[in-house]
Amino acid sequence: MRKKRTKGWIGVLLTAKKRAGACLLAGALLMMPAGCSTAQEPSEVQSILVEGQELAWLRSMDRKYAEEFSIDYYEGGYAWITIADSEHFLLVPEGGTVPDNPGKDVAVLKQPVENIYLSASAVMDMFVSMDGMDRLRFSSLREDGWYIPEAKKAMETGKLLYAGKYAAPDYERILAEGCGLAIENTMIYHAPQVKEQLERLGIPVLVDHSSYEREPLGRTEWIRLYGLLAGREKEAEAAFFAQAEAFEGVKAQVKENGQGKKAQVAFFYITSNGEVNIRKPSDYLPRMIELAGGSYVFPGEDDGSRASAMTIQMEEFYAQAKEADYLIYNSTVDGELQGLEDLLEKEGILKNFKAVEEGRVFCTTKDLYQSSMALGTIIFDLHEMLEGREENLTYFYRLDSHGQQAADDVHRVPLDRCFFGAGEPCSAEYTQRAPFNTCFFEAGHWEHSIWKIKHTGTGCF
């Protein structure tokens, strides 16, 4: 199961000696100096009137990393939410009175916020992590578009319904079941008529800006906002600080290892017309590469643009990445690669790259971007990869030549051909997810590996 996988790598990351100190991290984060977190005082206290009485402002959420949202708490359980300094929401507690004239451009949300239409795939992992799936009702992805087991299962059972893509939602279906909120990603700005139509129909639209956060954990911290909306604040806090603990643990380990020469890393994918898509240096993934002890190979200054990626010509990619120590292919767009030949088929000139010649080419699993609550695992993976340790990777795997076999004679067994006990199908109850949707049997127990594991010849058919 998903949660079991997380526990597995944390067990590798934190030794028994470190665990006692690690549990103090949440408290340490709460006591950070003001310069380490965003300001607690709002720039402007909003005046909220309920039945002629002005509500007293209590406090602002003490965000640790996020900059793209803020929350101010008022007496009576009311909250004022600001997204990207431009969009405003007023959260009314269950049974509370809607304030007098909240404002023309202020969307009112009433707790509990239910029957949510989710059109921001990175947010699903947050609802799963805080046990808030019951607040969701509609999805902009079909079942086969989800890599999160809980989302797939919810769609299989009818608890989560497909309601059209972000640019063409099924308004009739959404309205029929009383949708309380549409959560969109920033692509909605390319279809402004959809946002306007939802709002005309009385459905508030919240645009998720977590992908614009400059700090990796700023992206994860958005779970605290969704925890407030879903009535799962305690669960959201616990999930966030668990990721912060793991993330900070790897950062401390990198610092402890010293400041030697950093390996150069290129993160990319090749488009259908032969160009190369790379992450901008200001994006959270290059930032994580740096924090894991590597150096992102593509230079560039912050141009102020909100875009997280850019496309360059193959000639420019060759000039900048030919001598990179590691190549990481982003499979989340066009699917996972099975071997090095698949990459070279896309562009043969890559065979001249240092990382290809020296066998340091890796591929991401296709669920990397949907796994927004796994940044602790991802930075751990990156650090392990840069240290030459691959046995505990979760979101990355090495690309070898087709048919190449490791010295210990290992091979992969497809999920649909792997069985537990007397022909019982392998499921999440018996194994953790691994890339290529594989499961394995070894020495009488279900195990998981990232891309290889010994096969004893028993249990898998």
Domain assignment present for 249: no
Percent of the chain predicted with pLDDT > 90: 65
Residue 157: predicted pLDDT: 97
- Residue 381 pLDDT > 80, yes or no? yes
Residue 142 belongs to domain with CATH number = 3.40.50.1980
The answer as to whether 132 is a domain residue is yes
* Distance, first Cα to last Cα, the chain: 22
> 445 pLDDT exceeds 70?
no
- Give domain status of residue 218, yes or no: yes
Would residue 85 count as lying in a domain?
A: yes
Does residue 165 sit in helix, strand or coil?
A: coil
What pLDDT shows up at residue 250?
87
Residue 110 inside a domain? The answer is yes
CA-CA-CA-CA dihedral for 259, 260, 262, 263, to nearest 10? -140
Q: How confident is the model at residue 369 (pLDDT cuts 50, 70, 90)?
A: very high
Provide the pLDDT confidence category of residue 41 given band limits of 50, 70 and 90.
low
Query: Does residue 332 lie in a domain region?
Result: no
Query: Does 83 have pLDDT greater than 80?
Result: yes
Q: Tokens in use for 457? A: 């010849």
Cα–Cα distance for residue pair 174/263, rounded to 1 Å: 49
CA distance 367 to 435: 9
Q: How far apart are the C-alpha atoms of 328 and 129, rounded to whole Å?
A: 27
Q: How confident is the model at residue 412 (pLDDT cuts 50, 70, 90)?
A: very low
Q: Can you give the residue range of the structural domain that contains 88?
A: 2-242
**Token couple for 205:** 């639209």
Determine which of 121-135, 150-164, 395-409 has the lowest per-residue pLDDT on average: 395-409
- CA 43 to CA 349: how far, in whole Å? 53
Distance CA 147, CA 20 (A): 34
- Given a cut of 60, whether residue 409 has pLDDT beyond it is no
Overall average pLDDT of the 351-361 stretch? 97
Q: Is 218 left (phi over 0), alpha (psi -120 to 50) or beta?
A: alpha
**Domains contained in the chain, number:** 1
Position 345 scores a pLDDT of 95
Contact 165, 184 (CB under 8 A): no
Question: Has residue 208 been placed in a domain?
Answer: yes
* DSSP strand pairing (263-270 vs 276-279): antiparallel
From CA 105, how far away is CA 96, in angstroms rounded? 21
Residue with tokens 């898509």: 277
Kindly state whether residue 12 falls inside one of the protein's structural domains. Answer: yes
Q: What pTM does this model have?
A: 0.79
pLDDT of residue 428: 35
pLDDT digits (tens, 9 = 90+) for 273-329: 999 999 999 888 999 999 999 999 998 765 666 678 899 999 999 999 999 999 999
| In contact, 436 and 336? CB cutoff 8 Å | yes
- Between 261 and 69, where is the model more confident? 69
